[in-house]
């Protein structure tokens, strides 16, 4: 915690510098080019001053003016070139920095306990990783060179004005403190306002995602109006917070915009008076008027980035909040290689938040055996399976794999040893071929097809519109539940992990599908260790070990016959299952 707090205290700038990493030098060069752009953009004013001076002295001639104008043009072209090189460099660097931030975030999500990731609504991380990180592009790519140059220009112009006449130079700044005060008032509360818009926009996104994801339930239960009202309210709150923010800023911003550029107001009367008493020459006065008109505009352009900067700070805050979240602590290297694949849980306690759900679980899953976790709903079966799959760390006790505590096994290494087939059977919006290949990205097409054949998927895949190239649709929506599960099993088979954890789906209980899924599972587990969370007891009757979980504890374990003989709870579950099956068969 202390480490987290310390990490969070780092300034936005230091995070940006860290994210910039090897691209820091590109930003430095971009800034130097921006400065060259400013210098080249300013030099034409010196040539202009020469022309004005000659005109007012009556000594100007065409060839002199033409030469000066040609020089002016040359420096403007140079200025543009420097600007182009500067922004190109900063854009290139920014795209790499943003890609780096995204890489860090996705790597971090993989290292965080799954529970922390799942506790957030599905849109949150996507919003941060995709949209909000993307929205920093303009600020980072433009702000660094453009703000540098726009802030530098007024200083250069002001320095030149001072060299002409320091009194009039200072007078031209008379309105600046008022403008600055308005900007300061506008910036007050800017972070809170922006954070508020993020919260409201997030609520709107979440409501939209919930509405779309739950559309079937909403329709089935006639909740369309309630859900739509919730969405409308979120949309209204979202727009209200933007309007309020704009209203608060409007007065200050408009006053600042009106007051700041009014540099001529104090300069003109005093300038004319100094000219009349001979303390400033006509060419100098004209030059000062021209320079004063260009004094503040670059500053105003730079100030346009101020709210972007504040937004950037908020986004970096969100990114760093994720990056400083606790991780599953795993070593980079394996110190002691596991021997075999036997899994032991020794006095395992676990709580999701405050409330403990596992209270001292002890069990052993022997290598090469078929094991089933059974028990009432909410007893802790999935939690045990997910702890074994290393989705979370135990609070106390230990889980060993081949004699090694799984916290001592690198995450990548461990993931190769375990294949977890969940009930969700999530399929990506890719082809069937690619979805199966996720199990082993190096597998050839022939190996993918072989795995599909082994799991009995090949025939139904060939009947799909484009065979293995059929796109599964978002979350596999183009396939039936049973088909999705069998593809997930083929994926696990291709992974070829020695231990398989299978959260048996309850949804696809029609006999035909059940038989097909069972056949797939039987092929999948040949020669491997299987831990299945079984909801239908008939499917695990021949398991080597059935582990009965009740209220977060192991109530009994043994073969089906041993449990029928020794456990009242298992016996009653078995009878209830048989009765339900008979009722199904009659129906």
Ligand X SMILES: Nc1ncnc2c1ncn2[C@@H]1O[C@H](COP(=O)(O)OP(=O)(O)OP(=O)(O)O)[C@@H](O)[C@H]1O
The answer to the question of residue 357 lying near ligand X (CB under 6 A) is yes
CB of 486 to ligand X, least distance (A): 21
Residue closer to ligand X by CB (options 35, 357) is 357
Are 90 and 26 spatial neighbours (Cβ–Cβ below 8 Å)?
Answer: yes
Residue closer to ligand X by CB (options 381, 484) is 381
CB of 261 to ligand X, least distance (A): 57
Instruction: Identify the burial level of 414 via C-beta atoms within 10 angstroms of its C-beta, where 0-12 means exposed, 13-18 middle and 19 or more buried.
Output: buried
Residue closer to ligand X by CB (options 167, 553) is 553
Instruction: Identify the burial level of 503 via C-beta atoms within 10 angstroms of its C-beta, where 0-12 means exposed, 13-18 middle and 19 or more buried.
Output: buried
CB of 510 to ligand X, least distance (A): 20
How far apart, in whole angstroms, are the C-alpha atoms of residue 144 and residue 137?
11
CB of 581 to ligand X, least distance (A): 18
Residue closer to ligand X by CB (options 315, 374) is 374
Determine if residue 440 is left, alpha or beta; phi over 0 gives left, psi from -120 to 50 gives alpha, anything else beta.
beta
Radius of gyration of the chain (CA): 35
> Taking CB under 6 A as the criterion, which residues in 370-389 touch ligand X?
375, 377-383
Residue closer to ligand X by CB (options 14, 362) is 362
CB of 380 to ligand X, least distance (A): 4
Residue closer to ligand X by CB (options 381, 437) is 381
The answer to the question of residue 425 lying near ligand X (CB under 6 A) is no
> Can you list the pairs that 120-127 forms with residues at least 24 positions away whose Cβ atoms lie under 8 Å?
121/206, 121/209, 121/210, 122/209, 122/213, 123/202, 123/205, 123/206, 123/208, 123/209, 124/202, 124/206, 125/322, 127/202, 127/205
Are 291 and 161 spatial neighbours (Cβ–Cβ below 8 Å)?
Answer: yes
Cα 385 from chain centre = 28
Are 361 and 557 spatial neighbours (Cβ–Cβ below 8 Å)?
Answer: no
Structure tokens at 166: 């320091």
CB of 532 to ligand X, least distance (A): 12
Q: Write the binding mask 71 to 110 for ligand X: x where contact by CB under 6 A, - elsewhere.
A: ----------------------------------------
CB of 115 to ligand X, least distance (A): 5
How far apart, in whole angstroms, are the C-alpha atoms of residue 85 and residue 87?
6
Which DSSP string corresponds to 327-348?
A: -----SS-SS---S--EEEEEE
Residue closer to ligand X by CB (options 364, 550) is 550
The answer to the question of residue 115 lying near ligand X (CB under 6 A) is yes
The answer to the question of residue 35 lying near ligand X (CB under 6 A) is no
CB of 338 to ligand X, least distance (A): 25
Residues contacting ligand X: total by CB under 6 A: 12
The answer to the question of residue 113 lying near ligand X (CB under 6 A) is no
> Taking CB under 6 A as the criterion, which residues in 324-353 touch ligand X?
352
By CB under 6 A, name the binding residues for ligand X.
115, 118, 352, 357, 375, 377-383
């Amino acid at each position: 915690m202390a480490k987290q707090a310390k990490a969070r205290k780092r300034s936005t700038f230091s995070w940006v510098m860290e994210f910039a990493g090897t691209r820091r030098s590109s930003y430095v060069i971009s800034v130097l080019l921006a400065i060259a752009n400013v210098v080249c953009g300013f030099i034409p004013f010196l040539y202009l001053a020469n022309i004005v001076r000659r005109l007012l002295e009556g000594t100007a001639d065409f060839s002199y003016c033409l030469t000066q104008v040609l020089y002016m043009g040359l420096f403007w072209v140079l200025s543009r070139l420097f600007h182009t090189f500067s922004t190109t460099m900063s854009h290139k660097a920014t795209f790499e920095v943003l890609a780096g931030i995204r890489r860090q975030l996705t790597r971090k999500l993989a290292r965080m306990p799954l529970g922390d990731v799942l506790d957030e609504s599905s849109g949150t991380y996507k919003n941060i990783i995709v949209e909000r990180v993307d929205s920093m592009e303009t600020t980072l790519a433009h702000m660094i060179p453009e703000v540098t140059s726009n802030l530098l220009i007024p200083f250069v112009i002001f320095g030149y004005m001072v060299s002409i006449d320091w009194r009039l130079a200072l007078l031209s700044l008379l309105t600046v403190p008022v403008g600055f005060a308005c900007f300061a008032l506008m910036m007050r509360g800017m972070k809170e306002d922006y954070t508020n818009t993020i919260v409201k926009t997030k609520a709107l996104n979440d409501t939209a995602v919930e509405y779309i994801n739950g559309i079937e339930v909403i329709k089935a239960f006639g909740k369309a109006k309630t859900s739509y009202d919730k969405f409308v309210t979120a949309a209204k709150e979202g727009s209200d917070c933007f309007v309020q923010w704009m209203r608060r800023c409007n007065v200050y911003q408009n006053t600042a915009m009106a007051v700041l550029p009014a540099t001529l107001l104090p300069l003109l009367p005093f300038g004319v008076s100094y000219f009349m008493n001979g303390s400033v020459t006509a060419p100098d006065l004209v030059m000062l008027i021209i320079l004063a008109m260009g004094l503040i505009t670059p500053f105003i352009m730079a100030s346009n980035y101020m709210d972007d900067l504040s937004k950037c700070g908020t986004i970096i805050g969100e990114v760093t909040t994720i990056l400083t979240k606790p991780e599953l602590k795993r070593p980079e290297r394996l110190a002691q290689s596991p021997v075999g694949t036997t899994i032991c849980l020794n006095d395992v306690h676990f709580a999701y938040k405050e409330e403990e759900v596992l209270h001292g679980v002890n069990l052993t899953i022997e290598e090469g055996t078929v094991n089933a976790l059974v028990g009432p709903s909410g007893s802790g079966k999935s939690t045990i399976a997910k702890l074994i799959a290393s989705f979370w760390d135990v609070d106390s006790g230990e889980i060993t794999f081949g004699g090694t505590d799984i916290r001592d096994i690198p995450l990548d290494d461990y993931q190769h040893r375990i294949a977890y087939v969940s009930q969700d059977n999530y399929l990506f919006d890719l082809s069937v071929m690619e979805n199966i290949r996720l199990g082993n990205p190096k597998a050839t097409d022939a190996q993918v097809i072989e795995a599909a054949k082994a799991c009995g998927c090949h025939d139904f895949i060939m009947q799909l519109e484009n065979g293995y190239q059929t796109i599964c649709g978002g979350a596999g929506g183009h396939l039936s539940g049973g088909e999705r599960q069998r593809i997930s099993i083929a994926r696990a088979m291709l992974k070829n992990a020695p231990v398989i954890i299978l959260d048996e789906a309850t949804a696809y209980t029609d006999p035909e599908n059940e038989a097909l899924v069972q056949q797939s599972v039987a092929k999948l587990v040949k020669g491997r260790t299987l831990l299945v969370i079984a909801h239908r007891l008939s499917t695990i009757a021949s398991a080597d070990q059935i582990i009965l979980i009740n209220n977060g504890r192991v109530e009994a374990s043994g073969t089906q016959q041993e449990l029928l003989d020794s456990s009242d709870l298992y016996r009653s579950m078995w009878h209830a299952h048989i009765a339900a099956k008979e009722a199904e068969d009659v129906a």
